[in-house]
Amino acid sequence: MNGNIGYYDRKIECMPRSEMEVLQGERLKEIVKRVYETVPRYRAKMDAIKLKPSDINSLEDISKLPFTEKQDLRDSYPYGMFSAPIKDIVRLHASSATTGKLTVVGYTKKDLDIWAEAVARCLVMTGATPESIVHVAYGYGLFTGGLGMHYGIEKLGATAVPVSSGNTQKQLQLLQDFGPEIICCTPSYAIYLAEAMKEEGVDPASLKLRAGIFGAEPWSEAMRQAIESKLHIKAYDIYGLSEICGPGVACECEMQKGMHINEDHYFPEILDADTLEPIYEDNEEGELVFTTLTKEGIPLIRYRTHDLASVTREKCECGRTLVRLNKISGRTDDMLIIRGVNVFPSQIESVLLKCVGVEPHYHIYVDRVNNLDTLEIHVEMSEKLFSDEAKVVEQLREKLTADIASAIGVHAKIKLVSPRTLPRSEGKAKHTTDYRKGKI
C-alpha cells in the first residue's frame, strides 16, 4: 500500500469483494424493478422471455437479463428509454449513433451528483487534491468529456479551467499563465500540444503540469511513453461512454496498472464476443458490457459497449479493491474515433444515399498526420456527373463536404472518383482503411 495515496471514498474504493457483490446485488434488484415499471421497452423485453423483476435476486442472476444496444436508444429517440419524467431531468448529453440520430441520455440531479463523484474519485486516483488546478481541454457541449470532468473537479473542490477543445495558442498561454497541475484531453491532442509547444519554444519542463488524464479514444502504451516524455508528466487513462455517464466509468490510479471501475455504480461484465457468454477469468478479453446500478434518468441493463477489453479483480497496490479494466484493445463493430468523435461508416453512407450525382460506393481512409487524425472519403461519381463540367463536379463536392461534416461532426476531405473504380466486395463490404494502427 502506498502511504501517499488518498482516496475520495475509501469505504467504497477499498471495500472487500464479498461486500461489494452484496451491494451490487441489492442495487441490481432495485434497478431491474425500476426499469420494468417505468420503461415500456424493458418491460416488453423481459415479458418476451417471461422474466419478472422478482426473478432477479442476486448478482449471478444478471445473465438472465436481456441486453441493451445503441439501436434501442435510437429506436426510442429521443426520450423513450428515460426512466424519470422530463421534469426531473436536469441535463441532456448525446453522442453519435450508427445513422442519423444521436444517442440521447438524460440525467437527474442525483445522476449528476453521482457522476461528479465518480469523476472526483478518478481525479484523486491520479493524485489530485482540492488544491489542484485542472485544465479541461475536452470539448464542452453535448459531448460528455468537458462538462463531465468539470463537475468532478468542482466536486473535489479543485479548480477547473474550462478551456474546452481547440484554439491551441490559447491552450498554450493558459497552461503557462494559470499553472495547472493536471490537463484533461484526448491522448492525440496531448501529443499535438507537445509538438505545438516545441514549435512555440515553450519548455514543457517549465510548466507546473504533473499529470494528464486522457481518454475518449484508444491509445497504446507506446503513446503513453511518448506523451510522458514529451510533456514531462504522468499520463493516466480514463474510460467512459455517454450512455453510461461519460468520463469517470473507470480511471487509472498512480500504479498505472489498469483503470479502476466505479463498479458500485457501473457494473461490468466481459462476454465472449461471439457467444455473448460471460467470461469469469481475469485478463481474458471479450466485449465489455455495463449495467448502471444507480441511474435514474436512463438506467441501462447489460448495455453492449462493443469495446474489447479484459478486467482483473486482484487487489491493486494502491489499496483499492475496485475491479480494474485493462486498456481497451479494439471494437467489435466498425465505429471509428476521429479526433475524439465517434463516427460510423453508416452515417456517411446515409448522406451519400441522399445525394444525387454520387453512388453509395465509398471508401474511408483514416490517418494520423502531424499528430492529428485525418479523414478522407473517396466517393464514386455517377456516370451522369462524370460527364458534367468540372464546375458542377466541384459544386457537388463542396456540398457533400458540408453535408458529411454536419452529419458526423468532423471535417472530411472528399475525393470524387470515376465510376466503377472503387473495389467491390463479394462478402461483407470493407469500407475503411485505418492507417493509424501501428502509429502512436
Query: Which spans of this chain sit near ligand DLL (rule: CB under 6 A)?
Result: 95, 138, 143-145, 215-218, 237-242, 246-247, 305, 307, 328, 337, 342
Output the smallest distance, CB 102 to ligand DLL, in A: 10
Output the smallest distance, CB 435 to ligand DLL, in A: 18
Calculate the CA dihedral of residues 347, 350, 356, 357 and round it to 10 degrees: 60
Query: How far from chain centre, in Å, is Cα 149?
Result: 13
Output the smallest distance, CB 377 to ligand DLL, in A: 21
For residues 64 and 332, give the distance between their C-alpha atoms in angstroms, rounded to a whole number.
22
By three-state DSSP, how is residue 278 classified?
Answer: strand
Output the smallest distance, CB 185 to ligand DLL, in A: 9
Closer residue to ligand DLL, CB minimum distance, 56 or 337: 337
Closer residue to ligand DLL, CB minimum distance, 216 or 322: 216
For residues 440 and 353, give the distance between their C-alpha atoms in angstroms, rounded to a whole number.
35
Closer residue to ligand DLL, CB minimum distance, 331 or 431: 331
Output the smallest distance, CB 342 to ligand DLL, in A: 5
Output the smallest distance, CB 327 to ligand DLL, in A: 7
Closer residue to ligand DLL, CB minimum distance, 53 or 246: 246
For residues 88 and 199, give the distance between their C-alpha atoms in angstroms, rounded to a whole number.
49
Burial letters for 161-178: b for 16+ Cβ neighbours within 10 Å, e otherwise? Answer: bebbbeebeebbebbbee
Closer residue to ligand DLL, CB minimum distance, 46 or 96: 96
Closer residue to ligand DLL, CB minimum distance, 95 or 310: 95
**What DSSP line would sit under 239-277, residue for residue?**
EEETTTTEEEEEEE-TT-SSEEE-TTTEEEEEE-TTT--
Output the smallest distance, CB 44 to ligand DLL, in A: 26
* CA-only gyration radius of the chain, Å: 23
Closer residue to ligand DLL, CB minimum distance, 294 or 326: 326
Other C-beta atoms within 10 Å of 334: how many?
16
CB 362 within 8 A of CB 347: no
Closer residue to ligand DLL, CB minimum distance, 241 or 293: 241
CB 239 within 8 A of CB 328: yes
The grid cell for 110 is 442525483
**DSSP summary character for residue 289:** E
Chain residue at closest Cβ approach to ligand DLL = 215
Angle between helix 187-200 and 221-231 (nearest 10): 30
Closer residue to ligand DLL, CB minimum distance, 305 or 310: 305
Question: If you search the block for the grid coordinates 455473448, which residue do you land on?
Answer: 276
Beta strands in 170-309 (DSSP E): 182-185, 211-215, 234-241, 246-252, 259-261, 266-271, 286-292, 303-309
The grid cell for 397 is 463536392
Output the smallest distance, CB 16 to ligand DLL, in A: 27
Output the smallest distance, CB 428 to ligand DLL, in A: 21
Partner residues linked to 94 by β-bridges? 104
